[in-house]
């Protein structure tokens, strides 16, 4: 053992990562299928992946995707949040009702409501030791009740133009290009900095060609993405939020002590506690983040729909949980990635969007989505048994 | 010629990448206890799983004969019906069912599908009477101690008319008294003609109970000898493939100043108010010294360390001093900050996150120091982890290997590395070699000595007396939560320590 060796930087296929790659392939297969199925006389190459529809597909993913990122953190910590649908409804309703206070207060109010509810539920779970399933099952009903009381059952339209634009507007294509340049610069910079750090720690550095590949491949994806979005009028604002939340969530879970502790708590709470980790604090934090993200999702949803109705957000918690699970998250805690969760959300909305394009009947859409969820996990179990 | 009840000939079994068994032969006579020994990974469990039908017929090579007839067990059920019962280390009882229900689980006496409870309980009672056991057949298994649960498993095996009983580490969790009871029953069964395969790491027990001993190493049968014709050193030499003159290397520790002191530590049982698990215990740990804490199960050894570390749920009192300064420890992070490290017992439950990498396990308790306060650096961690892995000679493809795939000895080293990375002044070790093989034990012992020589204060708790006596410079003995003896290394004989541990004697240093 003369020279310490490490595999950092090489492609490491852990179970959860392997699952995510499988799902990435599944997503591409779904896209190609719908592209093929939507070929008609007006769309000789298919309609599904065209700029307009693809942009719409991503906008449809935004709300579920934002919720899935928060849900992932809660599930990884070994908990669950069944109340997010009701929180989306309540926070959205409060944002719509407080429009009279002005734009900023009403937006802040929605996120603050989500955060407060997350803090309350998180406290009950972490400090009072009530199982999260129970706390949030109670929340699911109670918060829906609060909406009915506050709105008296009425649907409230969104009147502030900027609020409305959150769900519908596009960024100027030039801003999209600027963001792409920024993104490519960031990727280049982190790769170079990372390699310097490896050198400093005495680890093996990557070859120049490897670094170039790690910069060029994501750059091509970014450029293609921006070109496609700009063809449809620019980056949709909800998609910007989804990207920002996903990037922040990925960073938080993979590159911070907070993220590491969440995985440790979910993976083995006893070992985590004996390693000096304050379990309660981090579980509370995960619920707070989930709440705040539910608040943000409520704004995107309300803005997109154009009004806050008392039953808004119903069943959204199940879409968020399904996204996580399809993306390889273990409901037992300790395993899962933000990448996988967002991928799961994208698979669900692709199925929704594609089946609507094909005029698949409503009942069949439900059956297919349910089947995909069970099949994804079944496939995983099968693979694990063989491996 | 002696007739064989069971013969296994030239058994081979491969897993992807490993040949677990390579031409193993083994035989068993009616009415004998045949011990199967070997290091972890030698192939003992694989051999037993073939016998039990867990690995069904075409998955292995070689032949199995029962009373001279070739048999091919295609399932666990097949093997059971042939009269083979395996009692695994992890007991397979349903905790909330009664003793009798467990004994007849899946084979309840029935009429028209309705369980005949009277018959079930009377047959269970008769089985227990035959074993001279006074266990209430109606009591839920949960309420029994581990030792009694083991005996219920044996009763269950007998209820299936087992002619061959396999016991896998049956004494791992038993007290000495329970071991005596178990051995009494095994002797009874032997007299009745039941054949037993006895798997254990504890060689003294093997020599006490067995008629013959078979040693496996690296998937091969090394030899089978009559127990009375061999001795422990010879068996150990065959197990490890080298002669072990001295399991415990002679170490020269330079005792330095007092680093750690616990005064009057008292811990209350969280479920039984007023009952004291630890009763005014105090001790000091010196720089460069190994302090052993001996005591039987239930003596309060682990509870003492857990309480000091801020991890015991019971009410506690007492004073803790590090470097002569009194400190308050309310939770484990307080202890870690003050330089206390704790290699806990039961690494799978308390030590490791089995599906995370070696590296993430190693840095869990020192993440903020090694990696960054909020933003982590995998490279900084990898650098620290590689150093620790090299220093402790952890055998794994890389630090990114998942901890759950390692052998017990290497897992234990990962836990050790985790605590060394916190830069402790005093290191608690609770059962550091439980369930790992002889070779790995020796490596852990060498590490303990090396750490003491490098100036760490070490507090060692172990239920294996030779281990405590072989490593410690000083030994304190606990009995029912109280200190009943303190010995210097030269005075600590097994007899003297044991008589304090059982409460027969008391002694001050």
Of B389, B296, B311, B299, the closest CA to residue B344 belongs to B311
Structure-token pair, residue B92: 């397979």
Q: Which residues contact B177 (CB under 8 A, 6 or more apart)?
A: none
Alpha-carbon span A95 to B399, nearest angstrom: 49
CA A93 to chain B, closest CA, distance in angstroms equals 35
Nearest residue of B to residue A198, measured between CA atoms? B379
* B399 assigned to some structural domain: yes
Of A66-75, B62-71, B240-249, which range is least confident? B240-249
Kindly state whether A163 is in contact with chain B, defined as any CB-CB distance less than 8 angstroms.
no
- Which residue among B400, B422, B444 closes a domain? B422
Of A257, A268, A276, A287, the closest CA to residue A130 belongs to A287
Cβ pair B108, B117 in contact under 8 A: no
Terminal C-alpha separation, chain B = 59
pLDDT digits (tens, 9 = 90+) for B7-58: 999 999 887 656 788 899 999 999 999 999 887 667 888 899 999 998 988 8
Q: Tell me the sheet residues that pair with B292.
A: B460, B475
Of A14-28, B11-25, B313-327, which range is least confident? A14-28
Looking at the predicted structure, is the pLDDT value of residue B445 above 80?
yes
Kindly state whether B390 is in contact with chain A, defined as any CB-CB distance less than 8 angstroms.
yes
Residue labelled with tokens 């059962």: B431
Instruction: Look at residue B6 and give its three-state secondary structure.
Output: strand
Q: Is B231 exposed, middle or buried (0-12, 13-18, 19+ CB in 10 A)?
A: exposed
Looking at the predicted structure, is the pLDDT value of residue A12 above 50?
no
| Same domain membership, residue B438 and residue B391 | no
Q: How many domains does chain B have?
A: 3
Looking at the predicted structure, is the pLDDT value of residue B186 above 60?
yes
Out of A260, A274, A278, closest to residue B311 by CB: A274
Of B420, B488, B413, the closest CA to residue B458 belongs to B420
Nearest residue of A to residue B338, measured between CA atoms? A276
Alpha-carbon span A220 to A218, nearest angstrom: 5
Of A76, A8, A11, A29, the closest CA to residue A328 belongs to A76
A196 against A243, higher pLDDT: A243
* B150 assigned to some structural domain: yes
* B364 assigned to some structural domain: yes
Cβ pair A275, A113 in contact under 8 A: no
| Same domain membership, residue B429 and residue B402 | no
Out of A7, A194, A261, closest to residue B400 by CB: A7
Nearest residue of B to residue A273, measured between CA atoms? B332
CA B376 to chain A, closest CA, distance in angstroms equals 5
* B1 assigned to some structural domain: no
CA A279 from centroid of its chain's CA atoms:
24
Range of the domain at B354: 347-422
Cβ pair A342, A194 in contact under 8 A: no
Instruction: Look at residue B459 and give its three-state secondary structure.
Output: strand
| Same domain membership, residue B225 and residue B366 | no
Mean pLDDT along residues A27-56: 91
- pLDDT at position B242: 55
| Same domain membership, residue B102 and residue B201 | yes
pLDDT digits (tens, 9 = 90+) for B222-281: 989 999 998 888 887 787 765 444 567 667 778 889 999 999 999 998 877 788 889 999
Looking at the predicted structure, is the pLDDT value of residue B77 above 80?
yes
Kindly state whether A9 is in contact with chain B, defined as any CB-CB distance less than 8 angstroms.
no
- Which residue among B422, B442, B462 closes a domain? B422
Out of A202, A267, A270, closest to residue B356 by CB: A267
Cβ distance A278 to B350 less than 8 Å, yes or no, reads no
Out of A12, A203, A334, closest to residue B355 by CB: A334
Q: Please name each of the domains of chain A with its CATH number.
A: 23-35+46-169+236-364 (1.10.3470), 170-235 (no CATH)
* B462 assigned to some structural domain: yes
């Amino acid at each position: 053992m003369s020279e310490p060796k490490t595999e950092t930087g090489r492609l490491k296929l852990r179970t959860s990562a392997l699952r995510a790659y499988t799902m990435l392939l599944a997503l591409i297969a779904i896209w190609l299928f719908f592209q093929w199925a939507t070929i008609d006389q007006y769309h000789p190459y298919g309609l599904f992946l065209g700029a307009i529809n693809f942009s719409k597909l991503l906008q449809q993913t935004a709300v579920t995707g934002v919720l899935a990122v928060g849900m992932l953190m809660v599930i990884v910590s070994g908990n669950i949040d069944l109340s997010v649908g009701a929180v989306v409804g309540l926070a959205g309703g409060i944002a719509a009702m407080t429009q009279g206070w002005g734009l900023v207060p009403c937006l802040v109010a929605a996120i603050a409501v989500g955060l407060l509810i997350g803090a309350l539920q998180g406290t009950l779970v972490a400090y009072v030791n009530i199982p999260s399933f129970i706390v949030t099952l109670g929340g699911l009903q109670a918060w829906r009740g609060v909406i009915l009381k506050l709105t008296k059952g009425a649907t409230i339209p969104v009147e502030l133009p900027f609020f409305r634009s959150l769900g519908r507007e596009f960024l100027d294509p030039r801003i999209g290009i600027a963001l792409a340049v920024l993104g490519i610069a960031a990727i280049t910079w982190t790769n170079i900095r990372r390699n310097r750090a490896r050198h400093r720690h005495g680890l093996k550095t990557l070859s120049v060609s490897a670094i170039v590949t790690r910069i060029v491949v994501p750059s091509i994806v970014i450029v293609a993405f921006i070109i496609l979005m700009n063809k449809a009028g620019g980056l949709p604002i909800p998609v910007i939020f989804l990207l920002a939340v996903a990037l922040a969530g990925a960073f938080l879970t993979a590159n911070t002590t907070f993220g590491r502790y969440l995985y440790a708590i979910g993976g083995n709470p006893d070992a985590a506690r004996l390693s000096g980790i304050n379990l309660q604090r981090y579980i509370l934090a995960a619920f707070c983040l989930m709440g705040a993200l539910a608040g943000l999702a409520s704004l995107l949803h309300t803005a997109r729909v154009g009004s806050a109705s008392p039953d808004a957000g119903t069943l959204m918690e199940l879409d968020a949980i399904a996204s996580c699970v399809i993306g390889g998250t273990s409901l037992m805690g300790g395993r899962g990635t933000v990448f996988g969760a967002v991928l799961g959300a994208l698979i669900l909305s692709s199925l929704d969007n594609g089946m609507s394009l094909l005029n698949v009947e409503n009942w069949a859409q439900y059956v297919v989505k349910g089947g995909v969820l069970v099949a994804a996990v079944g496939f995983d179990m099968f693979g694990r048994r063989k491996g | 010629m002696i007739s064989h009840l069971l013969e296994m000939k030239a058994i081979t079994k491969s897993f992807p990448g490993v040949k677990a068994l390579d031409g193993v032969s083994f035989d068993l006579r009616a009415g004998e206890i045949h011990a199967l020994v070997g290091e972890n990974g030698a192939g003992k469990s694989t051999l037993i799983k073939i016998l039990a039908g867990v690995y069904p017929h075409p998955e292995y090579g070689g032949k199995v004969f029962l009373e001279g007839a070739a048999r091919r067990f295609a399932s666990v059920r097949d093997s059971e019906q042939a009269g083979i019962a395996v009692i695994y280390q992890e007991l397979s009882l349903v905790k909330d069912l009664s003793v009798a229900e467990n004994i007849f689980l899946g084979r309840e006496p029935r009429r028209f599908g309705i369980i005949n409870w009277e018959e079930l309980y009377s047959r269970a009672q008769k089985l227990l009477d035959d074993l001279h056991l006074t266990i209430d057949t109606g009591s839920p298994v949960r309420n029994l101690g581990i030792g009694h649960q083991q005996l219920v498993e044996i009763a269950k095996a007998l209820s299936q008319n087992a002619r061959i009983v396999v016991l896998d580490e049956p004494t791992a969790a038993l007290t000495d008294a329970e071991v005596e009871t178990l051995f009494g029953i095994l002797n009874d069964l032997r007299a009745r003609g039941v054949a037993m395969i006895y798997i254990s790491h504890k060689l003294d027990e093997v020599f006490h109970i067995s008629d013959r001993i078979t040693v496996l190493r690296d998937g091969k049968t090394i030899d089978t000898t009559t127990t009375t014709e061999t001795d422990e050193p010879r068996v150990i030499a065959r197990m490890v493939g080298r002669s072990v003159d001295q399991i415990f290397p002679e170490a020269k520790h330079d005792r330095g100043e007092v680093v750690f002191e616990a005064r009057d530590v008292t811990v209350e049982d969280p479920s039984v108010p007023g009952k004291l698990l630890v009763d005014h215990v105090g001790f000091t740990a010196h720089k460069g010294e190994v302090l052993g804490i001996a005591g039987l199960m239930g003596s309060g050894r682990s509870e003492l360390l857990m309480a000091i570390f801020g991890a015991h749920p019971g009410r506690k009192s007492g004073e803790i001093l590090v470097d002569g300064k009194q400190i308050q420890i309310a939770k484990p992070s307080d202890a870690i900050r003050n330089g206390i490290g704790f290699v806990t017992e039961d690494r799978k439950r308390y030590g490791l996150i089995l599906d995370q990498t070696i590296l993430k396990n190693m840095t869990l308790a020192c993440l903020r120091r090694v990696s960054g306060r909020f933003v982590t650096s995998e490279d900084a961690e990898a650098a620290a982890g590689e150093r620790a892995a090299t220093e402790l000679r952890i055998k794994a493809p890389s630090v990114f290997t998942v901890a759950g795939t390692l052998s017990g000895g290497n897992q234990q080293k990962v836990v050790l590395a985790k605590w060394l990375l916190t830069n402790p002044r005093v290191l608690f070790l609770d059962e550091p070699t439980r369930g790992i093989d002889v070779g790995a034990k020796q490596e852990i012992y060498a590490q303990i000595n090396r750490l003491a020589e490098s100036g760490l204060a070490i507090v060692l708790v172990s239920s294996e007396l030779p281990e405590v006596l072989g490593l410690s410079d000083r030994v304190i003995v606990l009995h029912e939560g109280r200190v009943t003896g303190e010995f210097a290394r030269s005075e600590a004989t097994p007899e003297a320590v044991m008589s304090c541990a059982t409460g027969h004697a008391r002694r001050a240093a």
